[in-house]
Amino acid sequence: MSLKVIQPGLSTSIQDLGRPGYFHLGIPIGGAMDRFALRVANMLVGNPEGAAGLEVVFLGPEILFEKDALVAVTGADLPAKVDGEPQEAWTAFEVKAGQTLSFDFLKSGARAYIAISGGLDTPPALGSRSTYPIGALGGIEGRNVQAGDVIPLGETEMIEPGLNVPAHLRRLPGTPAELRVLPGLYWHRLTAAAQEGFFDDDWSVALEADRMGYRFKGGKPLAFVDREQPFGAGADPSNIVDGCYSYGSIQVPGGLEPIVLHRDAVSGGGYFTLGAVISADMDLIGQLQPHTPVKFRKVDMDEALEARSARKKMLAAVRTHLG
């Protein structure tokens, strides 16, 4: 028994927690951009935290249910409706066979996560159901969800509806959104003034913001320390001999617009990177709409690890709350 996609929304894809282990071949980890939101949605409907759900960008889909199921919507504030009846966000609700799940317009955030009891049961590729369209892996035939798709659901015992996660256990970015950055990688390529300017300047999310990476604009161009370019690096001072890219790493082609690589990152290339957004703030990026003001804040490794541990604690608190 399954779901039938009537309208897909703008860019709806099947995602779980990704496929680690193939980045050395250019296949990124992928999976939900906001992992916390997907985990919580799954918990609310009684699924394992890593079950596959739908990642919805800006505009919700319309989905006909062919069997009774529990549903939870987390992440962005995208109000859900069942046969037109409004439903609570971050709360498990029931959808009966023959009913339709649809959505009102987005109120805040960028990506909502829909978990459905049993989880989406499409065929895994390299150990994950996450959709990676560039490599035609996961999802349905390696692509985003389309109208007319039939998505199989896994078998499960349905728990009671009504589980809810209170506001203090949810997470959405503030305004301006603050992204914490650990300088490193090719940080030494920037002049001292550019290093300071990057953190002092006001940035905002550019239109080119997707699962591969988020681009930012509005800050001053970054200046580079003078050098004769090394053999094989290319002539532009922002070029390096093509190397690996870290998840969260920040490249600035030509010193102009920073790009933070996300879950569907390219695995390497020829641009210098000035450091990386810390792992604790990666989920937040997935909730940024274009034009959102952003400040980058410099942290050291101790702060990065404390922030990471705070994220773990919050997830543990949700687990405790939901019993």
Partner 1 sequence: MKTRYTYGGDEHIYVEMDDEMSLDAFFKSLSMSNAVRDAGIEGVTEICPANASFQVRFDPEVITPEAMMKKVQELEHKSADAEKRLKTRIIEIPVYYQDPWTHETLMRFRERHQDPSGTDLDYAARINGFDRAEDFIEAHHAQPWFVSMVGFVAGLPFLYQLVGREQQLQVPKYLRPRTDTPKQTVGYGGCFSCIYSVRGAGGYQMFGVTPMPIFDPEQKQSYLRDFMVFFKPGDIVKWKPINREEYDRILAEVEADTYVPRIAEVDFDLEAFNADMAGTNAKLMEALNVA
Window contacting partner 1 (CB under 8 A); options: 66-74, 191-199, 286-294, 301-309? 301-309
* Extended strands (E) in the chain: 2-7, 12-15, 53-57, 62-65, 69-77, 80-82, 85-86, 93-95, 100-103, 108-116, 150-152, 177-183, 203-209, 213-217, 239-244, 249-251, 259-261, 268-271, 273-277, 293-298
Nearer to partner 1, 3 or 177 (CB): 177
Q: Does 123 bind partner 1 (CB under 8 A)?
A: no
Nearer to partner 1, 9 or 28 (CB): 28
Number of chain residues interacting with partner 1 (CB under 8 A): 50
Out of 115, 137, 140, 205, the only residue in the binding site for partner 1 (CB under 8 A) is 137
Strand order in the sheet with 108-116: 12-15, 53-57, 108-116, 69-77, 93-95
What does the per-residue mask of binding to partner 1 show for 26-65, with x meaning CB under 8 A? xx--------------------------------------
Out of 182, 222, 294, 318, the only residue in the binding site for partner 1 (CB under 8 A) is 182
Out of 10, 225, 241, 316, the only residue in the binding site for partner 1 (CB under 8 A) is 241
Q: Does 308 bind partner 1 (CB under 8 A)?
A: yes
Peptide bond into 176 cis (omega under 30): yes
Window contacting partner 1 (CB under 8 A); options: 18-26, 166-174, 194-202, 215-223? 18-26
* Residue 167 to residue 82: CA distance in whole angstroms: 22
* Residue 105 to residue 180: CA distance in whole angstroms: 30
Do 296 and 276 form a contact (C-beta atoms < 8 A)?
A: no
Q: Does 207 bind partner 1 (CB under 8 A)?
A: no
Cα angle 98-102-103, degrees, rounded to a multiple of 5: 165
Out of 96, 107, 291, 312, the only residue in the binding site for partner 1 (CB under 8 A) is 312
Q: Does 20 bind partner 1 (CB under 8 A)?
A: yes
Cα angle 286-48-139, degrees, rounded to a multiple of 5: 55
Contact residues for partner 1 (CB under 8 A)?
20-21, 23-27, 125, 132, 134-137, 142, 182, 184-185, 187, 230-235, 239-244, 246-249, 266-270, 273, 275-279, 301, 304-305, 308, 312
